[in-house]
Structure 1
């Protein structure tokens, strides 16, 4: 765990959310805010440098939006943007939040980085009120381009075999991905841990080569083959 903490404290480690997946998370949030009858508490777990936290605050004026991250360096950046932030994470010893106190948890581009996603999802469910909302995004192992790369015997995009270097796949940035989901696996995972009413939308991938971007934009309408999976789920009673 110390090695992972050092990895995310490194300023070269990516901690910012890409535009397309962020837009889809914020679109889900706008729908929730639009139906709210009283002020909501919105917690962005794994907020990084606060990109989504800031957009969530703009989308939910009059509601309480808090960013949380376990790495101090990106949290300082988020704080410098005038955001309300708290240090903590879903991993052991758990979120520093009382049970059933949160209306919306944002968990964007986090679950793929975790050693123990089971413990994390249990924590997220614990802090949500009954019927509370989980907004989650994660790379899709079965993205359309990964299917082709596997047929060619190449390492899929998003997957990593080293925390120091990129091997066997395009790109040169190590993101620290430890867990990758397909859409069926993600559905089963969330349902097993007490979430229901799942709505899934695909999102594009910012690093797709320019000639292939039209294909990526088209296939985001087919979530099981989209580059990124974005999910709105509700905590079951």
Structure 2
């Protein structure tokens, strides 16, 4: 898979203009931000990580998670997402144009991986809850498998919640922390590319844990700040952007789920795009590889030969910037 397959370049200007307006709005609220400890483990920051667009991310001295500090309140972030022009562009333009390829290249493989985890950990199906269901494709795919007797979407965005309802998906329009009446209902709770956007991700994980039956499985995906793409590009990475207020390390993810009363069963980095993204930055002049002959050879000179195997190595060795975490509720 290439980055251009899911983020077509013809929409780059539209996307970046909308994103710039969103960032300007959030920056205008910067005086209301508050200093914080690490959202993953409550450790204290011990060094700066990134400075970008008027925002700062620090590194935790315990788990090395990078987090915006000072950071916006949950209320400010809720308003930010509710009024986001970028999310409107994604919903109205980019996602409809890429829906089919995303279904084929992202959501079906994601569902296959989720089902494989269920089988390996003895879950036959039952109720699946997706937190941050967005456009509802994963919920659709879950329904099509016939493996789940009930599929529920939790989506705080009014526009995206309506998209899920229009697809016939049982939908709750609320943040997961506010959901009532579903405690102990779910065999599986999934939240893909969600926790990095939240002011208090640990509180959200605790709320997701409440939804699980004893023995139920929580599945999360999020950027891995220590993975190849982010570590190589540093603040030039598109993952380092104000909507990503927390960028976890594997250690931080482990601490967060274990503190919620879950037992970690798998932590992996099955990413497919690190090499392609870094190559794209090099080819566009954002990243200079002239002093990195090995990366220049892999990503430029012998890309067709070495690019795929290199990405496979990153995924298999835990070095991709795309991370999966699976954990079980033990009580």
Q: What is residue 221 of structure 1 aligned with on the other side?
A: 316
Q: Structure 1 CA distance, aligned partners of 2:258 and 2:269?
A: 19
Q: Does 1:115 align with 2:199?
A: yes
Change (3 A) 1:77 1:21: closer
Aligned equivalents of 1:62, 1:196: Cα separation in 2: 23
C-alpha distance after superposition, 1:56-106 (max 9, x if no partner): 222344521111100011122222233232212224xx2233321211101
Cα distance in structure 1, aligned partners of 2:86 and 2:163: 12
1:169 corresponds to which residue?
Answer: none
Tell me the equivalent position of 1:5.
Answer: 82
1:73 equivalent to 2:168? Answer no
Segments of 4+ moved more than 6 angstroms: 14-17
Change over 3 Å in CA distance of 1:107–1:97 after alignment to 2:
farther
Structure having the larger proportion of residues in helix: 2
Given the alignment, which residue of 120, 127, 142 partners 2:211? 127
Aligned to 1:165: none
Tell me, in whole angstroms, the C-alpha distance in 2 between the residues paired with 1:119 and 1:202: 24
1:221/1:159 CA distance change after superposition, 3 Å: same
Matches within 5 A, 1:131-170: 131-150=215-234, 154-161=235-242
**Contact 1:203–1:220 (CA under 8 A) maintained in structure 2:** yes
Contact 1:41 1:65 (C-alpha < 8 Å) held by counterparts: yes
Report the TM-score, using the length of structure 2 for normalisation. Answer: 0.58
Q: Contact 2:264/2:325 (CA < 8 Å) preserved in 1?
A: no
Between the aligned partners of 2:154 and 2:86, the Cα distance in structure 1 is: 14
Q: What is the rounded CA distance, in whole Å, between the counterparts of 2:87 and 2:255 in structure 1?
A: 34
The structural deviation recorded for 1:5 is: 2.2
Structure showing greater Rg? 2
1:162-203 deviation digits (Å, cap 9, x = unpaired):
xxxxxxxxxxxxxx2111101111111111211104212222
Aligned CA RMSD, in angstroms, stands at 2.8
Instruction: Spell out, residue by residue over 1:211-234, the C-alpha distance to the aligned partner (whole angstroms, 9 max, x if none).
Output: 5652333311122x1121112210
Q: Which runs of 5+ in 1 are unaligned?
A: 162-175
Question: Secondary structure in 2 aligned to 1:63?
Answer: strand
Q: TM-score normalized by structure 1?
A: 0.78
The answer for unaligned runs of 5 or more in structure 2 is 1-74, 281-298
Q: Is 1:189 aligned to residue 269 of structure 2? A: no
Where do 1:88-107 residues align within 5 Å? Answer: 88-91=174-177, 94-107=178-191
Task: Give the superposition deviation at 1:145.
Answer: 2.1
